[in-house]
């Protein structure tokens, strides 16, 4: 992508010829002008018609996830500086997750804090705006410092510190709206980057073509083509779907499940279908159907990003192979660009197509069925080490579909960050589960350390996540680090299978270590000492004398 960015011109006050530094994940529209020492962070979007000129006052910083909208002007006087969050001097500092909306003017010396919102055509000059402030439209803020979390109404003129100190606090709804704007612009950034990527656009064009193809129905010629491969148990539509997947370069997978487990979504893989001829693929499919007669069998494609497309049930327990409706024979029904979606699997439950693993969806169902609330949090790589997680949009719904949609929205809005799922016991006001579902590389965390989610009631009435390895998995290690970084104490308890039913847990002993390594070594020692028993990790808030986490990390 061509970005109109140039070095600062030589002037009487500066001859450094500094050039903009733009993070590779940022999107800067070609008709935006970026001049001089402008440092644009990760996941920033700079819209058309924007002018960011560090040719007089300099340098400028624009923090990660911030959006600079159409027609915004950012400039600075040669004289005057603000102190940025890194304690260095800048002409203009704009923090993270901020929204500088259409036609706004930020003129240095100026500081705009994290999570702030600057409304249409508002002006900030020689001023400092604290984190989490909401400035509405057509406001003027000059020569003052606005405390964090304040609300500036539309048309306000704030030019004295007394006026600034009297401003009301921003309402939760205002801050949620500001957060929503950041999320919308992150989606736009992803979309614009995709539009500039021929491979990404080609994939969407293929989806559109496939949808157009299925809407017109299957012609006689296509049915004749499908009959080139004979099948005693597969219909022409299924054969054509297999052909389509192979032609598009997808791998093909199959899964089966009996009637009892169908309700819980515990599908198991059939024999892998290796890329090859249509005849080999059809033979492997028919083998799966024969081997699992009397069960559900489903077919799906797998793209290069390991996401599922065209997930379709092709056999039911009554032995009837389900016909494929034209609406289901399209990648667009189960696959969306950049982020896989979810869909109904035919039994009223939600089936994962990649954005969330089946284990995560099962965790959601079990939490909801047990009466727990669900939350999500995110954190970037730098703050992950300190455990400074931020909440995503609150999830009020108790519908599995709505909750999964909210989880996927959080993942989409915070690409490049850690995202974790939280189970909350609202009555006891404590967490019963913390599970990382996305990592900064964009991949959903593997499920090897949390293979299942059980609603078994323990002594504390807590739902538990399982780690089956005799050594600690990466998610458990992350939880330990987060607990220690948050100032919590870490402990462990064990119980044998007989007493597990009564919740009679016993302490494994005091963990005196305070370092990550020391605590992890102690926990792994307990796993070895109590082989054949349940062991659970405990996080303790010593000040409040309560538990903040209970997670089973070993089962018999």
The tokens for 342 are 């979810």
Separation between Cα atoms, residue 62 and residue 215, nearest integer Å: 46
Separation between Cα atoms, residue 242 and residue 428, nearest integer Å: 51
Neighbours of 379 (CB within 10 A): 21
DSSP at 439: -
Q: Quick one: angle between helices 278-291 and 236-247, nearest 10? A: 130
Is 201 in a helix, a strand, or coil? helix
The tokens for 59 are 């340098």
| DSSP string computed for 266-288 | --EE-S-B-S--HHHHHHHHHHH
Q: Label the pairing between strands 67-68 and 45-46.
A: parallel
Separation between Cα atoms, residue 472 and residue 480, nearest integer Å: 10
Residue 548: which of 444, 431, 386, 464 has the closest Cα? Answer: 431
**287 CB-side CA count, 13 A:** 12
Radius of gyration of the chain (CA): 28
**460 CB-side CA count, 13 A:** 22
Longest Cα–Cα distance of the chain, Å, equals: 85
Give bridge partners of residue 46 from the DSSP assignment: 28, 68
Catalytic positions, written as ranges: 56
Q: Which residues contact 50 (CB under 8 A, 6 or more apart)?
A: 29, 32, 33, 68, 69, 70, 71, 72, 73, 74
List alpha helices for 267-399, DSSP H: 278-291, 358-369, 381-384
């Amino acid at each position: 992508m061509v970005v109109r960015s140039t070095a600062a011109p030589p002037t009487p006050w500066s001859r450094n010829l500094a050039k903009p530094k733009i993070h590779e994940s940022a999107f800067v529209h070609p008709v935006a002008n970026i001049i001089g020492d402008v440092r644009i962070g990760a996941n920033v979007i700079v819209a058309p018609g924007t002018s960011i000129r560090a040719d007089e006052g300099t340098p400028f910083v624009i923090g990660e996830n911030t959006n600079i909208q159409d027609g915004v002007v950012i400039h600075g006087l040669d004289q005057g500086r603000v102190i940025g969050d890194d304690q260095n001097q800048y002409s203009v500092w704009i923090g993270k997750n901020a929204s500088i909306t259409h036609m706004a003017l930020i003129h240095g010396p100026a500081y705009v804090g994290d999570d702030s919102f600057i409304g249409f055509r508002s002006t900030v000059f020689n001023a400092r705006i604290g984190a989490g402030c909401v400035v509405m439209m057509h406001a003027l803020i000059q020569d003052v410092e606005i405390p964090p979390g304040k609300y500036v109404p539309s048309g306000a003129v704030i030019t004295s510190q007394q006026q600034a100190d009297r401003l009301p606090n921003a309402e939760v709804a205002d801050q949620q709206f500001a957060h929503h704007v950041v999320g919308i612009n992150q989606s736009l950034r992803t979309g614009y980057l995709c539009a500039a990527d021929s491979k990404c656009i080609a994939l969407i064009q293929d989806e559109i073509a496939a949808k157009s193809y299925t809407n017109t129905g299957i012609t006689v010629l296509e049915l004749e083509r499908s009959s080139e491969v004979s099948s005693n148990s597969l219909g022409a539509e299924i054969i054509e779907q297999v052909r389509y997947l192979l032609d598009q370069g997808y791998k093909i997978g199959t899964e089966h499940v009996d009637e009892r487990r169908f309700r819980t979504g515990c599908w198991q893989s059939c024999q892998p279908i290796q890329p090859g001829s249509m005849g080999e693929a059809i033979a492997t499919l028919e083998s799966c159907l024969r081997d699992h007669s009397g069960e559900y069998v489903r077919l799906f494609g797998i793209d290069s990003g390991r996401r599922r497309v065209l997930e379709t049930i092709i056999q039911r327990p009554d032995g009837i192979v389900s016909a494929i409706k034209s609406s289901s024979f399209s990648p667009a029904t189960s696959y969306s660009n950049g982020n896989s979606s979810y869909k109904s699997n035919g039994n009223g439950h939600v089936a994962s197509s990649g954005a969330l693993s089946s284990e995560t969806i099962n965790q959601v169902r079990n939490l909801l069925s047990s009466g727990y609330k669900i939350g999500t949090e995110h954190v970037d790589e730098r703050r992950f080490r300190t455990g400074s997680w931020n909440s995503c949009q609150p999830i009020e719904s108790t519908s599995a579909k709505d909750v999964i949609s909210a989880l996927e929205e959080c993942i989409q809005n915070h690409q490049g960050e850690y995202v974790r799922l939280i189970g909350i016991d609202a009555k006891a006001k404590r967490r019963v589960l913390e599970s990382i579902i996305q990592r900064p590389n964009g991949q959903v965390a593997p499920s090897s350390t949390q293979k299942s989610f059980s609603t078994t009631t323990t002594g504390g009435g807590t739902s538990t996540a399982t780690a089956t390895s005799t050594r600690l998995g990466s998610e458990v290690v992350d939880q330990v680090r987060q607990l220690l970084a948050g100032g919590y104490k870490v402990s462990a308890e064990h119980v044998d299978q007989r007493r597990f039913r009564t919740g009679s847990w016993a302490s494994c002993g005091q963990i005196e270590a305070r370092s990550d390594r020391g605590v992890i070594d102690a926990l792994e020692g307990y796993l070895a000492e109590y082989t054949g028993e349940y062991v659970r990790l405990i996080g303790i808030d010593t000040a409040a004398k309560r538990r903040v986490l209970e997670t089973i990390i070993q089962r018999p």
